[in-house]
C-alpha cells in the first residue's frame, strides 16, 4: 500500500499528515514556520515507507522550492506542488486565470465539492480572512479576501496614533471599554459580520478553516462547521487522482 506525505504551507504554519493508499489520513500535526518552511524538515517525525510528497504552498515559489529540496535531501522524497485546475472533478472556477486563485482556497473547495456535490460556502480565518461560494452545479461563484483578526488590528494601529498595546486575541461578544479592547472588537465584528453577511446570501452548508477558526466560530451566527483540515483533504483527493 502506497503512502504520501501531504504538506499544507500557510502564511504562518506548516501542517502535515500522511495519506495511505486507502484514502485515510493520519492525525494532522502543525508547527509555526517563521517564514522558512524548509527549516522544519529536519524536525518532522515522518514514518518509513513514504513514496512521494504533495505540497500546497502559499508562501511563494522560492520558499516552496527550498522545502522540496530539503525533503529530497533529508527524506529522499520526490515532491509535487498542487496547482488550481479549472474543471477538476466538475468544480469550475470563477477566476479567468485559475492559477491566480489561492491553492489553499481551491483545495478546500475541492474537498467539499468532491464529498458533498452540493452548494456550499468555505471560509478561512487566518492572516487573511477569505470566503468562497460554490453553487449546486459545481460553479465557483467567486470569493472575497479581507484582513484576518490580527491583521485587521495591525492595520488600524499602523494607520492611527492610538495609544494601544498591540494586536490581541482576547475577544468578547460585546463592545470595547478601552482603546485596546475597541480595536480588538472592531476586528472581531468586521470579520464575523463579513462572513455572516456573505453566508446569508449563499445557500448550503458553511465550513470554517484556518488558524483563527476556533477563535472566530463562537461569534458567528449558527450553522458554521469547523473543518480544520480541509486543505489537506483536498490535497489528498488531488494526489489520489494523479497529476492533472
Catalytic center residues: 104
d(CA 180, CA 165): 7
* Rounded (10°) CA dihedral 5, 64, 102, 18: 10
Contact yes or no for 204/112 (Cβ under 8 A): no
d(CA 71, CA 86): 29
Q: In what order do the strands lie in the sheet with 3-9?
A: 29-32, 13-20, 3-9, 52-57, 79-81
Contact yes or no for 2/51 (Cβ under 8 A): yes
DSSP of 144-202, one letter per residue? EEEE-HHHHHHHHHHTS------------SS--SSHHHHHHHHHHHHHHHHHHHHHHHS
Amino acid at each position: 500500500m502506497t503512502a504520501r506525505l501531504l504538506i499544507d504551507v500557510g502564511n504562518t504554519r506548516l501542517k502535515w499528515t500522511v495519506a495511505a493508499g486507502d484514502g485515510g489520513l493520519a492525525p494532522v500535526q502543525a508547527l509555526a514556520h517563521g517564514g522558512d518552511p524548509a527549516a522544519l524538515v529536519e524536525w518532522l517525525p515522518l514514518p518509513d515507507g513514504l513514496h512521494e510528497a504533495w505540497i500546497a504552498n502559499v508562501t511563494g515559489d522560492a520558499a516552496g522550492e527550498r522545502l522540496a529540496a530539503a525533503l529530497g535531501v533529508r527524506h529522499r522524497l520526490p515532491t509535487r506542488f498542487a496547482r488550481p485546475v479549472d474543471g477538476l472533478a466538475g468544480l469550475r472556477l470563477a477566476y479567468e486565470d485559475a492559477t491566480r486563485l489561492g491553492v489553499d482556497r481551491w483545495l478546500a473547495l475541492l474537498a467539499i465539492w468532491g464529498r458533498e456535490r452540493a452548494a456550499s460556502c468555505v471560509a478561512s480565518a487566518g492572516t487573511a480572512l477569505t470566503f468562497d461560494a460554490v453553487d449546486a452545479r459545481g460553479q465557483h461563484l467567486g470569493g472575497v479576501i479581507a484582513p484576518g483578526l490580527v491583521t485587521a488590528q495591525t492595520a488600524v494601529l499602523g494607520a492611527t496614533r492610538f495609544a494601544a498595546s498591540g494586536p490581541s486575541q482576547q475577544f468578547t461578544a460585546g463592545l470595547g471599554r478601552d482603546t485596546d479592547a475597541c480595536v480588538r472588537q472592531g476586528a472581531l465584528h468586521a470579520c464575523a459580520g463579513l462572513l455572516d453577511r456573505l453566508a446569508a446570501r449563499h445557500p448550503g452548508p458553511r465550513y470554517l478553516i484556518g488558524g483563527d477558526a476556533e477563535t472566530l466560530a463562537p461569534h458567528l451566527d449558527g450553522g458554521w462547521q469547523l473543518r480544520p483540515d480541509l486543505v489537506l483533504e483536498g490535497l489528498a483527493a488531488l494526489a489520489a487522482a494523479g497529476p492533472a
